[in-house]
């Protein structure tokens, strides 16, 4: 059965006030100092009352903030006060409201994961970056992969597999030698981790409307965990993954160094 892709494009025109700002910081000394300074300069309201949420930290904090506020309609702007900052803008304290007014806003759609474990419990979770399945022991995983109800790989023996969004394609997916996807691409990356058989299979690009089903074979001998970003469920039997058609998050980047430019730079990095 075929599933049409979501009707909403990845990028939409939005207009927001920048009067009321909510600052959220990680617990590092650098981030907490920035929180105090920016709060004094611009004020700091509760996130539910804010026009824009400003995250101060690294990519981990940005993912946490997106998860906490996804679907709420509030744009999130990150400034790098952490070790990794691919999702963050450069930290500068001056003219913040002017930067926010000029920033590009990108719509991101998370993956919805439904995982059934060996007790029969069903777990639901969302992933902004990726859903990953990983072997739990020294035994390689044996997986059967279906797309839109049709079996595409009867057996994949591997350390695991990743389904990544464009937003997550430069994270774990890239480390596993998966493709980098432009943020506007209506695609998902299906990337194996250390595939043993078929050894030459390097993964696939799927339309973002595809439904991916992964069945764990020999699950007692070869247990597998499933993670949606940072939420992990162990000893799963079956995992279904699709892009959400209803939930969206809004992320802001400075117009002179937007996400497309960052991804192009990453593509040509050597």
58 assigned to a ligand binding site: no
59 assigned to a ligand binding site: yes
Catalytic residue among 59, 117, 213, 229: 59
175 assigned to a ligand binding site: yes
Which residues, 6 or more positions from 219, have their beta carbon under 8 angstroms from its beta carbon?
A: 118, 235, 236, 237
Q: Are 209 and 109 in contact (CB under 8 A)?
A: no
Q: Nearest CA to 99 among 35, 43, 49, 42?
A: 42
167 assigned to a ligand binding site: yes
149 assigned to a ligand binding site: no
Q: Dihedral sign, CA of 171, 161, 115, 107?
A: positive
Structure tokens at 51: 């026009």
**Residue 152 DSSP symbol:** E
42 assigned to a ligand binding site: no
Q: Nearest CA to 62 among 255, 256, 251?
A: 251
170 assigned to a ligand binding site: yes
What does R_g of the chain's alpha carbons equal in angstroms?
Answer: 20
Q: How far is CA 153 from CA 143, 144, 184, in A?
A: 8, 6, 28
**19 is an active site residue:** no
Q: Nearest CA to 218 among 149, 141, 118?
A: 141
130 assigned to a ligand binding site: yes
174 assigned to a ligand binding site: yes
159 assigned to a ligand binding site: yes
- Which residues carry out catalysis? 59
Annotated binding site: 59-60, 129-130, 159, 167, 170-175
Annotated binding site for NAD(+): 59-60, 129-130, 159, 167, 170-175
């Amino acid at each position: 059965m075929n599933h049409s892709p979501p009707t909403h494009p990845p990028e939409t025109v939005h207009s927001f006030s920048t009067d009321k700002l909510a600052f959220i910081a990680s617990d590092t000394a650098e981030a907490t100092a920035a929180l105090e300074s920016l709060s004094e300069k611009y004020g700091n309201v509760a996130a539910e009352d804010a026009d824009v949420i400003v995250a101060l930290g690294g990519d981990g904090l940005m993912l946490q903030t997106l998860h906490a506020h996804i679907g709420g309609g509030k744009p999130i702007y990150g400034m790098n006060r952490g070790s990794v900052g691919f999702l963050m803008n450069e930290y500068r304290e001056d003219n913040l409201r002017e930067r926010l007014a000029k920033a590009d806003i990108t719509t991101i759609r998370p993956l919805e994961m439904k995982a059934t474990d060996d007790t029969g419990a069903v777990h639901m979770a969302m992933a902004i970056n990726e859903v990953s399945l990983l072997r739990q022991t020294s035994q390689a995983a044996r997986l059967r992969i279906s797309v839109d109800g049709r079996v595409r790989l009867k057996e994949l023996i591997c350390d695991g597999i990743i389904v990544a969004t464009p937003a997550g394609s430069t994270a774990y997916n890239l480390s596993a030698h998966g493709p980098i996807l432009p943020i506007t691409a209506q695609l998902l990356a299906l990337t194996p981790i250390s595939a043993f058989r078929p050894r030459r299979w390097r993964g696939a690009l799927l339309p973002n409307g595809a439904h991916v089903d992964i069945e764990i074979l020999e699950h007692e001998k070869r247990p597998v965990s499933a993670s949606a970003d940072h939420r992990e469920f162990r000893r799963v039997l079956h995992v279904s993954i699709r892009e959400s058609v209803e939930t969206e998050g809004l992320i802001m980047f400075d117009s002179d160094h937007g996400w497309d430019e960052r991804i192009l730079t990453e593509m040509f990095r050597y």
